[in-house]
Structure 1
């Protein structure tokens, strides 16, 4: 990609790429640990609701905090140091800033920060995937109109999968399925912050000592985060969502091309060109052989006809693992390094004007589903909480059902009883008007495709 060379040239010229980080949580901290060691990047500032937390993130990731901090953005710009603030908009407006990294984890805050950054002419790296799934197509369109980059965050699974899909298509292969691995059993959909640590083999005391947030980690277990990440991939890579949610099939790396192929070819997929998450556990709880729990993959196929026949012969000649027909195969990456890899997105946006994955479609949505029987008057607590989990649906199906997006299912009150497993709708909750609600409705109007059951 030549990004390291370009960054080195900027460092030598005394013109580093100036970065502002909003949100100093786990993902932001991982980025901070590598930013410090990357020539050509300058951390102009961090905005966090707690300045002491931002300072602690710097200390935890190896910064000499006393030497690194500046009392103002102007001094930070002049000296190459860093300003800490609780005011995200002040950081976004700071002179000299090139790229905003949005890592708050809040859909409403993420969207607001992205819009402010775009208005100021800053590139945006959207780490908050929840915001991207909720209103990403509209944010990306606003960025294009403003002449700046809106990008997924490299290191997180969606951007890595989009890169693999792009690789396959650039090589002339048809993409059959793409996604990631996770640890999953059907019972996990009912998991709550009170039960989560047993799934990770930890005690609550151990989790607290590690600074681990129960609700955030629960969103990974209960299926919500997988749905969100698969929706992001579908919307950026122009792939389809399964008609009734992710299947989470148990599957190791050697079986990707065998299991993740269409029904007519002997696999489990409704159709080619879809997303799916594979489980590292068999349904009886046994571990899957050579699982892909921490990794990502793409399943692709050779073209039909003479050129495809030749490619299939090449697969065999070079030891490529395929399905029995020799037509389907897969490429996978066993790990993702999350925020440790985020510098790729920052450098790509600033130096090449290119995103590492960008949402251009509204193919998939993530809707709120009741974890248990809920009563009118109860308040939903959103992603990873006690009341709902997020299920992946085709966007057209979600809109036709009037389903409530998981990104808006927080601090809203039910106005009727719902049964366990029921998709909750906009009409089922009392939801106040707000900027993020209006933005979501604008996005739906601009990007929604008509519902077609036959097409699904």
Structure 2
């Protein structure tokens, strides 16, 4: 609760926190909009595949020409990392690139804030351990739902509550799993022309709709908090904020959960498409169990919504502000040496699942694409099934047919075992799952 005063002291001493931003898309732009209003925070270098687009993004969010002229723009992420910066923000969204940048930041003694949750779920436990050994911070990105949820879990545990469930809200119907970029905009109430004129990427937006992003974010939360993953994947139960304590409790208590202590996503739509009353589409939540009768009485006395037993209650945050809140992670790393959430184990994984009958010879097109969506699985179950991680299901050719709805396995695709990203994934699996790497994997 003292980040602003710590930053003010650095500003007064003429020692600003220097940041390198890699990826000037929507998340990066939202962060950049706050920089001119945060004395003591300096984005000295911005790396983007299109540096001129990054300059224009700065103008769009309100940077003046003097600030733009004082900033280095480059297409080379490695150059940005090697500069005189304290914190690297990785916001590319590309898992392979994100892993490479994280390792480069760690090697250069820089803190790394991983906006790139796709990379975090693919190999984050390994990257976080490498950072800890190097004496730098590897952090989830505050403002994004995984870090906000991890914060709520930490708050609940630190105050002595039992965690029943934690997660976020989203717009979900079962049919969304098969949606492709060709028809995604109808579900957002937009035409393709409207979306294109707004610069919206259909594959990226589809990853939010088809369940992939939810699975990735819940895996990140599970790996950061030690919470379990539902054995059959996410349920996406329709649930408003007032019903969280009633619905998000174990089945034997009348709820939908197979057990307490799991991650889960609640839907803002009933299964027939009607909107949920007081939905949590943009927010995060944690459901608590009172550890004793006295605490349960306090729930009632202080107005918490509870289930009928009075022992289950919920806390929630109705909105998240994405990149507008990212300063919290940057300053926490630079000024406190603490992450805003980081993986400590491999509990959740996201497997590629066929959106339709796939044929041998087809090329997988990854997250939010035409061929596969990402399903949350317990890590051990994913390993046992030899499931292909969604973060690697891009530009891989199928060796055999895969039925609609089936998990794509490593045996179904041709791949280069010496690929840098695959090797990082293998190293993470070996270290954190206890699984023996097989020679043909």
The answer, yes or no, to whether TM exceeds 0.5 is yes
Partner of residue 285, structure 1: 273
1:77-88 aligned within 5 A? 81-88=70-77
Q: 1:69 Cα deviation (Å)?
A: 3.6
Gaps of 5+ in 1: 71-80, 452-456
> 2:258 & 2:376 partners in 1: Cα distance?
15
Native 8 Å contact 2:114 2:120 kept in 1: yes
- TM-score calculated relative to the size of structure 2: 0.98
> 2:119 & 2:111 partners in 1: Cα distance?
16
Q: 1:14 Cα deviation (Å)?
A: 0.6
> 1:184 & 1:69 partners in 2: Cα distance?
40
Is 1:311 paired with 2:322?
Answer: no
The structure 2 residue matched to 1:102, chosen from 82, 90, 109, is: 90
1:203-282 aligned within 5 A? 203-282=191-270
The structure 2 residue matched to 1:163, chosen from 134, 151, 154, is: 151
The count of residues paired between Structure 1 and Structure 2 equals 435
Is the partner of 1:36 in helix, strand or coil?
helix
Partner of residue 112, structure 2: 124
- How big is each residue's C-alpha offset from its partner over 1:253-284, in whole Å with a ceiling of 9 and x where there is no partner? 00001001111111111111000000000000
Is 1:18 paired with 2:18?
Answer: yes
> 2:379 & 2:434 partners in 1: Cα distance?
8
| RMSD (Å), alpha carbons | 1.0
Q: 1:450 Cα deviation (Å)?
A: 6.8
> 1:318 & 1:61 partners in 2: Cα distance?
42
Native 8 Å contact 1:396 1:449 kept in 2: no
> 2:36 & 2:182 partners in 1: Cα distance?
37
1:142-153 aligned within 5 A? 142-153=130-141
Is 1:338 paired with 2:322?
Answer: yes
Native 8 Å contact 2:388 2:408 kept in 1: yes
> 1:195 & 1:296 partners in 2: Cα distance?
28
Is the partner of 2:14 in helix, strand or coil?
coil
Is 1:51 paired with 2:51?
Answer: yes
Q: 1:296 Cα deviation (Å)?
A: 0.4
Q: 1:449 Cα deviation (Å)?
A: 4.9
Native 8 Å contact 2:58 2:68 kept in 1: no
Partner of residue 371, structure 1: 355
> 1:48 & 1:450 partners in 2: Cα distance?
37
- TM-score calculated relative to the size of structure 1: 0.94
- How big is each residue's C-alpha offset from its partner over 1:216-268, in whole Å with a ceiling of 9 and x where there is no partner? 00000000000000000000011011111100000000000100111111111
Q: 1:119 Cα deviation (Å)?
A: 0.3
Q: 1:41 Cα deviation (Å)?
A: 0.3
Gaps of 5+ in 2: 437-441
Residues 443, 224 of structure 1: CA spacing in aligned structure 2 closer, same or farther, 3 A cutoff?
A: same
Is the partner of 2:119 in helix, strand or coil?
helix
Runs of 4+ in 1 over 6 A off after TM superposition: none
The structure 1 residue matched to 2:337, chosen from 346, 350, 353, is: 353
Partner of residue 454, structure 1: none
Partner of residue 78, structure 2: 89
> 1:160 & 1:206 partners in 2: Cα distance?
31
